[in-house]
Every structure is written in structure tokens, then in C-alpha cells.
Amino acid sequence: MNPRDRDRRGGGGGDRRRGGRPGGAGRPGGGKGKPPVTRRGPRSMNIPGSLAARDEEEREREAPRTGGVPLVLATRNPGKVRELAARLAGTPWRVLGPEAIENLPSPVEDGATFEANARKKAIHYSRLVDHLVLADDSGLEIDALDGWPGVRSARVGGPGATDEDRIRLVLARMEDVPWERRDARFRCVLAIARRGEVLAAFDGVVEGKIALEPEGGGGFGYDPIFFYPAMNRTFAEMTPAEKDSVSHRGQALDRAVGWLVDLLERGGIESLRPKK
């Protein structure tokens, strides 16, 4: 969104607050510690489901590749596929998404940490497919809720819950929490496995706050309520390139991509075979 549009809606440079931006009465010591929210008529959550509003360059950046070395991304989440495939664009790797695992049984994600779940998924699927497997586990940790939802981030609200449902449940639990206590973070762990063995693992963390209401039309999951102070907007208000540059998954992928590229320079998948 154009910052000038925010200026016009917010009534000037000193009072621009959307979805949880601290300022004026919303800063610590002012009002109740919550930034006021500008309502714009009847509102429903703007959870994205299309790339139509993104510019051509970003759509091309997210387009799936048809050649290269196959890399199975062990997820059924199309948002993650788009995000991770974009990060791997320009490398020799070709990401295979849900189509590669749709007919395979899913592992039980019962680990106590994100790393435990990422490793478990990578090992599980690497025993069922012929290619290298990259699995991730990621989620939202909220300090005021003792780290909840944590490893249960994708399961908040039960099996039938949507992103919108999960966001409502989080905001309901945060309703009386003042701005200064709304600290939160996204955490991600990626694990790479082949034939039942984890070859490498990488992590990333980004700090932010829980916004007072959803804002933005990009991203997925909890992005509309994850406010990133350094850019003064939620993850869902960022372009894919902006989000990739600071996100937890982007950090982990930077490390994973370096490892994957180095693997090919060492001789590719065949270099992982034990020497006779």
C-alpha cells in the first residue's frame, strides 16, 4: 500500500496507525497502551488466496520451474511452496510441491520442538520418494501466551480451521493484552534428508508484535497479524521480496540454499552415495 494513502487515511504523518502501529495515544503511557484503529466501513479479514494483485516480476519470480534437479518440498501448503520456490529461483534445483506427496501417508507431527517435527517429516518422506527431501516446521510464538501456539500453530482451531479462523482465535486470546506486551516471533526450522537420514538442518527467527487486527493482502497464515516494527507494517502488507528479505523462513532458506548449491558443486546427489 502506498504510504501516501496511509497518510490520507490516518489524518497526517503523526497519526498513521493501522493494525497495531504504535503512536500517539497508542504508545506506552498513552491511553490504554493500545494504538487506536481506523475502521474503514464493514470489514472482513483479508486473507490472500491469489497472486493476481502482484506485479509481473514477482509472479515470474514465483513461477514453478520445469527443469533442474528435483527437490521434494514436504508440505501440502501452497503458500509455502510459492514462498520457498521463489527463494530457490536461480539455483539448479526444481521444487516439487504437494503433487509429489499427495498420495503418501503423512507423519504424525508430535515433536516438542520445530526442529523435531522438521526432522521427522524429512526422514518420513525421504523413505518414500527417490529425491532429496526438504521439510520445514514453523510457527508463531507469543510471549504473553507463554509461547503459544508454537508447534501447534498450524493446528489451532482443529483440523477444519482456516487461516481466518486461527487469526480470530489468536486475537481473541490477545484482546486485553496491551501493545507493549504483544511481543511475538516467527520461528522456522528446515531439515534436508535422503533415504531416511537427515543431512542438514537450518533455522531462522524474526521478532515482531501481534497487531490489533488483520492488515494486508499478501502472505498466508498469521502474516496479516504479524506486525514487523522495522518496516512499520504487517508481513501481509509486504511484497514477497520484502518479506523474503527478513522472514524466518527466508533466513533458514538462505542457509539451506547455500548448502544445496554447494552440494551440486561437490558432485550433486551422487556425491552423497557412500564410496565403494
- Residues with a catalytic annotation lie at 137
Please give the Cα distance from 190 to 249 (Å, whole number).
8
Residue 198 host element (H or E): strand 197-210
Q: Of all residues in the chain, what percent are helix, strand and coil, respectively (each to 5)?
A: 40, 20, 40
DSSP 8-state secondary structure symbol assigned to residue 75? -
Q: What is the enclosing helix (H) or strand (E) of 201?
A: strand 197-210
What is the Cα–Cα distance from 112 to 107, expressed in whole angstroms?
Answer: 15
Q: Which residues, other chains included, contact 59 with Cβ-Cβ below 8 Å and sequence gap of 6+?
A: 51
- Angle, helices 78-88 vs 248-265, to 10°: value is 50
Contacts of 216 (CB under 8 A, 6+ apart): 1, 19, 46, 48, 223, 224, 233, 234, 235, 236, 237, 238
Specify whether the CB–CB gap between 79 and 154 falls below 8 A.
Answer: no
Cis peptide before 224 (omega within 30 of 0): no
- What is the rounded distance in angstroms from the CA atom of residue 64 to the CA atom of residue 95? 7
Q: Can you point out the beta strands (E) in 57-131?
A: 69-73, 93-96
